[in-house]
Chains A and B, each alone.
Chain A
Amino acid sequence: MRLKPIGRQFAVSAIALAVSFGAHAVTDEDIMNDHNTVADVVSHGMGLQGQRYSSLDILNTDNVESLQPVWAFSFGSEKMRGQESQPLIKDGVMYITASYSRAYAIDARTGEEIWQYEARLPDGIMPCCDVINRGGALYDDLFIFATLDAKLVALNKDTGKVVWIKQVADYREGYSITAAPIIVKGKLITGVSGGEFGIVGKVEAYDPNTGDKLWTRPTVEGHMGYVYQDGEAIEYGISGGEAGKTWPGDMWKTGGAATWLGGTYDPETDSLFFGTGNPAPWNSHLRPGDNLFSSSRLAIDPDDGSIKWHFQTTPNDGWDYDGVNELISFEYEENGEVIKAAATADRNGFFYVLDRTDGSFIRGFPFVDEITWAEGLDDNGRPIFSDGGRPGNPVDAQGEKGEPVLAQPAFLGGKNWMPMAYNQETGLFYVPSNEWAMDIWNEPVSYKKGAAYLGAGFTIKPANEEYIGVLRAIDPKTGEEVWRHENRAPLWGGVMTTAGNLVFTGTPEGYLKAFDARTGEELYRFNTGSGVVGTPITWTMDGEQYVSVASGWGGAVPLWGGEVARVVKDFNQGGMLWTFKLPRDVADRDVASR
């Protein structure tokens, strides 16, 4: 039983009376069991482990062709530009965020808006990482999401009224937040985004009821972590023990490693899993060393923020291979033994299976067709760098363009932010991946803030003429690619899979697609009118199975262009939320014919 201020308790009950459909509070138990409860989706990842797997099979390979749109909802205004959010569902109400730090509650039966909230962003804000938002969290009577100016906003989930707003980091120093926060054991957990302005990544916990900070854990070696008691910061150990072990000079002070994609949680090991971005500065020759904990996965204690273990995917990163991609907990049997594993598909092109109890490396293998920067992984999962695979030091070739180095995958990664899914029935991961390479060269002349500068030029290009995106079914036990589905444009949307032997994802061409989880056969497609870069969910309501996905082309791909621009330049932006269901009569007919 958590204690609540009496005043708020009163306000909450007053509101509860006022709301006709009698919405209930979201509890810790609801969130912890989210992956087992098919009538709601109350966490990012459809369960804290982030498997994005539903045990629903009303909708399945036999009847998915009858999936029908039931309503669509416009996010409104000219603010389109990339809808990367995942909806949440509770008691017949859908909660979703949209680009430019907006949030909505929608009647899930009719598509009618209940409330809308638009964060007031400060003038002159320069978010590093586009204006997208990836979703929110439900807790108690609150809907909580983060904004481009690096604030957490808690709204009353029934009215949309602001309950509290807290600054996580200063946007003027280059911080932003686009990821969905998560709720773990009554704590609100968030990371931060940041560009090349000398920021330092961190993971923080807040009291979801009040917005009070509970602990902070920097993700660069040498920085002190804190826990907060009665508003007082108490030193709680330096990340990595001490400064300067894997960084030269004082570079750890501005080391980067932003935690921009949020994290997952595994209740069995009681660990938060957060990934970290690339180290700063971008030129790897300036910072010899592993540069911990950049481009890594961290297991963090949710109670106090201490780091339990780390696994670094790209030491001394020189290709912008952020290590932020989600680490998904799963189990498999080997020689009669249950292995508590976790898997991640990294920007750098390797798929890693780790022992999630201690972070040790079980196996790793390429999940893309070609990797140029490394020859492979050693016994500990550390990359074996290829000769000549690292971009040259611009200092060695000032004033000349220099020979470009071809690196594959491109900096946008074999897989970027878009979450993969794990199907407990098939035992396969469904990975939205891309086949592209980049040329990097030393920029002969470059300026920054009125001063001469030394930059690198790069261009991103498709690895094949016919396709960039590849949705892959990958067996984590063998590294085998069980099936693949190629897509002309790069895939940028999340994946969801079900016990109905289905895999759902969207394409920049605008389609929501469903595939047979075992064969990869495409069974369903629906054109949503703009590119799908959101992540689908599924749930049941009134005995019918629903699917929802946000549509609206945007995100990083159109920002970077390069030769990929040829493929995507004609895609129009958008801002719609689509909801589908399998009509009851079709489902009944299907059951009858079995």
Chain B
Amino acid sequence: MLLIRCFTALLLVMSTFANANELVLERAPERTYDIVIESGYLNVGVYRDFPPYSYEKDGKPVGVDIDIGKRIAEGLGVEFRIHWIIPDETLEDDLRNNVWKGHYLAKRRIADVMMRVPYDKQYAYMRDSTGEVINDQVVMFGPYHQEQWQIAYDPNDIDSVGTMAVFQYHPIGVEIDTLPETYLTSAFGGRLRDKTHHFANIGQAFQAMEAGEVSAVMGMRAEIDHELGIHSEHGFVAASNGFPGMGKQVWDVGMAVKHTHRQLGYAIEEIVDRMVREGEMAEIFERHGLRYSMPGFYEEILNDVDEDS
């Protein structure tokens, strides 16, 4: 008994010592695949207050990215731990602050894997003005979802949204500093600009639609689907119009790990790949009342397979 107690005490001392060392170093811990498995947990980075992907409900993290993160942790045989991300001005900033370097106010707070990182080769290999690859400190991998833009409208105000032209006459809500904001305030020679109303997030835009302040809302499809579910009693409708002149209309979403943690990335990719192929990913989205599109990455692969067979 005494021996055990001594041993426990020694362990305590040792672990305190290890913690102290990390504190002194003030840098992001190197959590490779082996260390993650050994530690028994996985820090999954997700954006805070970002329904339906990742947000808190009754003090618990919920959302599709949370569910996927939990399945990944389960697949690795470790505990799921949440790492909330407060978005900075660009994705590069988020990757630096949360995946490879740590934020300068909390250098040791880091995610082992970050969810909802667009999967785009052009972006991944983008170079800065001096020729350096901008995101060379991370690996972007594992596309699991394809996202796109979507409008919802109030049929009491607008009969139908055939084209964007109706928003010369009807107010539309949008989240500030997003591509839809830029689109609505600049496309068609700025003719929709005066009818564009700005909100801090899509949830607030829907509340404004409920209050009759705007007749429509534009955002990401999953966000719109989610809000349509919340406000189902109002009969708001998802539009099926196109977005002429808008640069990026659909994009794949995957994950990111630090470039020295590729092995962890491979292990996660295997889990997520199976989820996409076997339909589990679609089920998760369905369970949240969202439409699901398989990443364009898979469309190509699976079509190739079809042609081969």
Contacts and interface: CB of A to CB of B under 8 A. Distances in A.
Which residue, of B120, B177, B193, has the highest number of chain A Cβ atoms within 10 A? B177
Centre residue among A288, A394, A445, A447 by max chain B CB count within 10 A: A447
B129 interface: yes
B105 interface: yes
B198 A198 contact: yes
Interface string A335-367: 000000000000000000000000000000000
B297 interface: no
A562 B89 CA distance: 18
B118 A454 contact: no
Contacts of B246: 398
A444 interface: yes
B84 A124 contact: yes
B195 A249 contact: yes
A448 B185 contact: no
A196 B93 CA distance: 14
Contacts of B84: 124
Contacts of A198: 176-177, 198, 200
B197 A249 contact: yes
Contacts of B193: 248-249, 286
Interface in A268-283: 280-281, 283
B198 A452 contact: no
B103 to A, nearest CB: 7
Interface string B120-151: 10110010111000000000000000010000
Contact of A286 (B185, B248, B253): B185
A563 B128 CA distance: 11
A123 interface: yes
Nearest to B124: A445
B220 A395 contact: no
By secondary structure, the B interface counts as: mixed
B179 A453 contact: yes
Contact of B129 (A127, A196, A254, A457): A457
B212 interface: no
A454 B177 contact: no
Contacts of B198: 198, 249-251, 253-254
Contact of B123 (A280, A288, A445): A445
Contacts of B90: 446-448, 453, 455
Nearest to B122: A445
B41 interface: no
A250 B197 contact: yes
Interface string B224-239: 0000000000000000
B197 A452 contact: no
Contacts of B186: 283, 285-286, 393, 395
Interface in A362-413: 393-395, 398-399
Contacts of B26: 78
Nearest to B129: A459
Contacts of B103: 126
A449 B53 CA distance: 11
A449 B87 contact: yes
A398 B247 contact: yes
B182 A394 contact: yes
Contacts of B128: 457, 459
Contacts of A288: 190
A399 B247 contact: yes
A195 B93 CA distance: 14
Contacts of B88: 126
Given A451-B178, A451-B220, A249 B187 contact: no
A184 to B, nearest CB: 32
Contacts of A121: 105
A126 B93 CA distance: 11
A39 to B, nearest CB: 38
Nearest to A566: B130
Contacts of A249: 185, 193-198
A454 B247 contact: yes
A448 B248 contact: no
A562 B248 contact: no
B292 interface: no
Contacts of A452: 118, 179, 247-248, 251
A195 B89 contact: yes
B154 interface: no
B147 A445 contact: no
B86 interface: yes
A281 B248 contact: no
B109 to A, nearest CB: 8
B181 interface: yes
Name which of A78, A131, A445, A450 has the most chain B CB atoms within 10 A of its CB.
A450
A288 B193 CA distance: 10
A320 B105 CA distance: 26
Interface string A559-572: 00011000000000
A100 B185 CA distance: 38
B233 to A, nearest CB: 27
A450 B48 CA distance: 12
B75 to A, nearest CB: 22
A444 B89 contact: no
A281 B177 contact: yes
A563 B120 contact: no
B267 interface: no
A522 interface: no
B71 interface: no
Given A250-B197, A281-B181, A286-B186, 12 more contacts: A124-B84, A198-B176, A249-B197, A281-B177, A287-B185, A399-B248, A445-B126, A448-B87, A449-B47, A449-B91, A450-B116, A450-B117
13 contacts: A124-B86, A124-B106, A126-B88, A198-B198, A249-B197, A283-B186, A286-B182, A393-B186, A394-B182, A445-B123, A451-B220, A459-B129, A563-B129
Closest 3 CB pairs of A and B: A398-B247, A452-B248, A459-B129
Interface of A: 78, 81, 100, 121, 123-127, 131, 173, 195-198, 248-251, 253-254, 280-281, 283, 285-288, 393-395, 398-399, 439, 444-455, 457, 459, 562-563
